[in-house]
């Protein structure tokens, strides 16, 4: 299984990396992101100080994670809400289906949430006959297309305007010449009906606030507010690492997340949900549940060197900075979380054996570490995963022997020079596509080594 996933990764990467249309769409969409983020960074008087402060708050929170989660539970319960602790994805699904079935809910509306992707909520609800509708426009598009999110912040980044027009034409008979505004209006109309009919709204949480007993949702379309304003039940699913000590921390984290996610000064809608409606309040859900999801996070938490990865605020900046992600795209990873952060955490949230190969798809350029708003040393963590994979023998024997032989030869120039260029070229040709892929030629070795050429010229 592990090796088949790795082979699949290599096959998909080779194919997509040379797909010109894919490259054009990603370059266009990422170009817009980089322009906005570049301009946005000018708003900071001292960006590095903001990153340091954010990283310190997250590291402090991680050091006291159990206490802050319990504080949140106490305060949220006081506010009238219910907290449920889910060790696994199955636990979370069971909680959700029990709540929905208890209230005879037949359809739900859902705002964008990678945690619900992680537990494959839509699929599970569909299986038991409950309609689940994505309300974030990008998520709505990928759901209509029968796909998964391509990127943790911009789920439909791989689609051009023409792709979406084609999709709306196929699904709704909408004209192929429709503008982006016309398509957005159509989605709005369709979704309005769903909000009104839904028995429950499901959201994720960008942050969990311990001192207020609330969860924060940040968004640009107002769809999360609509998803929680109309239905009578609100269920939020949050990874346990999302906790922040205080409401006051949002003054840094809300703009910091928006800046690194999209280049905005702040997202259009930022809501702190602190429980169900009070007796004095005429609107809002009568019941609110927060499911705190572990699903492998405590496994990461227990590993001193890797624990820092739980500081992630899912801004997506490391994906956009990664030369590998930009070439192989989001789907090639075949994981919920892609790019550098996905590469680091996926082997620990799921099976190490099945995901560790992702760590070899990295040039260790450290671009990801440089852009991370909470200073996670991503390239060092990727390297750490590799070290573990080697020490635990996760690579095939042939590869292990090959690397040992290479390390022996390359550790002394005289050993490399002992073999002539013709033999080196012969071996390189023999290994051929395995070394370099089938779209490029392996560079030719010179017949004579640099040192012997140099010596000859000097002695002339």
Residue 120 Cβ vs ligand SF4, minimum distance, rounded to whole Å: 21
For ligand SF4, the closer of residues 180 and 251 by Cβ is: 251
- Candidate segments 79-87, 155-163, 180-188, 372-380, binder of ligand SF4 by CB under 6 A: 372-380
Provide the sign of the torsion angle of the four alpha carbons 34, 37, 39, 45, taken in this order: negative
3-state secondary structure of 156: coil
- Candidate segments 65-73, 100-108, 116-124, 309-317, binder of ligand SF4 by CB under 6 A: 309-317
For position 81 contacting ligand SF4 by CB under 6 A, the verdict is: no
For position 318 contacting ligand SF4 by CB under 6 A, the verdict is: yes
CA angle 112, 269, 218 (to 5 degrees): 45
The only residue of 314, 348, 357, 379 in contact with ligand SF4, by rule CB under 6 A: 314
The DSSP line for 9-30 is: HHHHHHHHHT-HHHHHHHHHHH
The only residue of 374, 381, 382, 389 in contact with ligand SF4, by rule CB under 6 A: 374
For position 40 contacting ligand SF4 by CB under 6 A, the verdict is: no
- Candidate segments 5-13, 213-221, 316-324, 326-334, binder of ligand SF4 by CB under 6 A: 316-324
CA angle 253, 258, 262 (to 5 degrees): 155
Tokens of residue 213, six digits: 């007993």
The only residue of 149, 316, 329, 347 in contact with ligand SF4, by rule CB under 6 A: 316
- The DSSP 8-state label assigned to residue 311 in this structure reads G
Per rule CB under 6 A, count of chain residues that contact ligand SF4: 15
For position 373 contacting ligand SF4 by CB under 6 A, the verdict is: yes
For ligand SF4, the closer of residues 242 and 260 by Cβ is: 260
For ligand SF4, the closer of residues 205 and 313 by Cβ is: 313
Measured in residues, the chain has a length of 460
Tell me the C-alpha distance between 158 and 144, whole Å.
14
For ligand SF4, the closer of residues 191 and 372 by Cβ is: 372
For position 210 contacting ligand SF4 by CB under 6 A, the verdict is: no
For ligand SF4, the closer of residues 274 and 311 by Cβ is: 311
Sequence-distant (6+) residues with CB within 8 A of 304 are none
Query: The sheet that has 107-110: what strands, in order across it?
Result: 82-86, 287-293, 233-239, 200-203, 107-110, 131-134
For ligand SF4, the closer of residues 226 and 361 by Cβ is: 361
The only residue of 69, 157, 208, 372 in contact with ligand SF4, by rule CB under 6 A: 372
Residue 354 Cβ vs ligand SF4, minimum distance, rounded to whole Å: 21
Sequence-distant (6+) residues with CB within 8 A of 370 are 321
- Candidate segments 77-85, 159-167, 179-187, 370-378, binder of ligand SF4 by CB under 6 A: 370-378
For ligand SF4, the closer of residues 266 and 409 by Cβ is: 266
For ligand SF4, the closer of residues 149 and 213 by Cβ is: 149
- Candidate segments 191-199, 200-208, 369-377, 419-427, binder of ligand SF4 by CB under 6 A: 369-377
- Candidate segments 202-210, 266-274, 280-288, 311-319, binder of ligand SF4 by CB under 6 A: 311-319
For position 379 contacting ligand SF4 by CB under 6 A, the verdict is: no
For position 312 contacting ligand SF4 by CB under 6 A, the verdict is: yes
Tokens of residue 196, six digits: 């009104």
Sequence-distant (6+) residues with CB within 8 A of 3 are 396
3-state secondary structure of 172: helix
For position 341 contacting ligand SF4 by CB under 6 A, the verdict is: yes
Contact 65, 240 (CB under 8 A): yes
For position 255 contacting ligand SF4 by CB under 6 A, the verdict is: no
Cα atoms in the 13 Å half-sphere on the side-chain side of 414:
0
Residue 248 Cβ vs ligand SF4, minimum distance, rounded to whole Å: 20
The only residue of 137, 315, 328, 361 in contact with ligand SF4, by rule CB under 6 A: 315
The DSSP line for 341-374 is: HHHHHHHHHS-HHHHGGGGGS-----HHHHH-TT
Tell me the C-alpha distance between 419 and 254, whole Å.
59
Contact 86, 95 (CB under 8 A): yes
For ligand SF4, the closer of residues 233 and 371 by Cβ is: 371
Cα atoms in the 13 Å half-sphere on the side-chain side of 70:
4
Sequence-distant (6+) residues with CB within 8 A of 313 are 54, 58, 206, 207, 253, 256, 257, 260, 373, 374
The DSSP line for 98-123 is: HHHHHTT--EEEE---HHHHHTTHHH
For position 313 contacting ligand SF4 by CB under 6 A, the verdict is: yes
For position 157 contacting ligand SF4 by CB under 6 A, the verdict is: no
Site for ligand SF4, rule CB under 6 A:
260, 312-318, 341, 371-374, 376, 378
């Amino acid at each position: 299984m592990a090796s088949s996933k790795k082979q699949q990764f290599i096959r998909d990467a080779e194919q997509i990396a040379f797909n010109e249309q894919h490259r054009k769409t990603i370059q266009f969409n990422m170009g817009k992101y980089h322009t906005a983020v570049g301009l946005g960074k000018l708003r900071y008087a001292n960006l590095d100080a903001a990153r340091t402060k954010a990283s310190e708050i997250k590291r402090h929170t991680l050091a006291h994670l159990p206490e802050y989660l319990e504080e949140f539970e106490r305060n949220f319960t006081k506010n009238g809400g219910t907290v449920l602790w889910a060790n696994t994805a199955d636990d979370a699904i069971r909680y959700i289906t029990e709540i929905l079935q208890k209230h005879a809910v037949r359809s739900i509306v859902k705002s964008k949430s990678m945690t619900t992707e992680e537990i494959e909520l839509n699929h599970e609800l569909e299986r038991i006959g409950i309609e689940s509708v994505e309300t974030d426009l990008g998520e709505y598009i990928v759901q209509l297309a029968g796909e998964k999110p391509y990127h943790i912040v911009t789920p439909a980044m791989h689609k051009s305007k023409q792709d979406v027009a084609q999709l709306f034409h196929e699904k709704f008979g909408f004209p192929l010449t429709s503008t982006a505004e016309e398509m957005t209006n159509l989605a709005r109309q369709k979704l309005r009906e769903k909000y009104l009919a839904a028995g429950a709204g499901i959201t994720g949480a960008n942050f969990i606030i311990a001192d207020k007993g609330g969860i924060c949702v940040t968004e640009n379309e107002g769809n999360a507010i609509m998803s929680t304003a109309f239905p009578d039940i609100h269920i939020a699913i949050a990874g346990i690492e999302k906790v922040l000590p205080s409401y006051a921390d949002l003054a840094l984290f809300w703009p910091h997340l928006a800046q690194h996610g999209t280049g905005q000064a702040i997202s259009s809608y930022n809501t702190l949900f602190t429980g169900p409606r009070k007796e004095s309040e005429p609107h809002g859900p009568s019941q609110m549940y927060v499911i705190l999801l572990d699903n492998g996070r405590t496994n990461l938490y227990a590993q001193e060197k890797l624990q820092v990865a739980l500081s992630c605020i899912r801004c997506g900046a490391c994906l956009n900075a990664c030369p590998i992600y930009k070439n192989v795209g989001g789907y090639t990873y075949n994981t919920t979380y892609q790019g550098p952060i996905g590469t680091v955490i996926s082997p620990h949230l799921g099976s190490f054996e099945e995901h560790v190969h992702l760590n070899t798809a990295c040039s260790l350029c450290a671009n990801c570490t440089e852009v991370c708003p909470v200073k996670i040393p991503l390239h060092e963590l990727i390297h750490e995963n590799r070290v573990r994979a080697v020490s635990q023998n996760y690579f095939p024997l042939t590869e292990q022997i090959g690397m040992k032989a290479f390390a022996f030869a390359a550790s002394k120039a005289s050993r490399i020079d002992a073999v002539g260029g013709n033999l080196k070229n012969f071996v390189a040709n023999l290994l051929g596509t395995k070394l370099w892929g089938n779209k490029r030629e392996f560079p030719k070795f010179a017949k004579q080594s640099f040192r012997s050429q140099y010596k000859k010229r000097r002695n002339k």
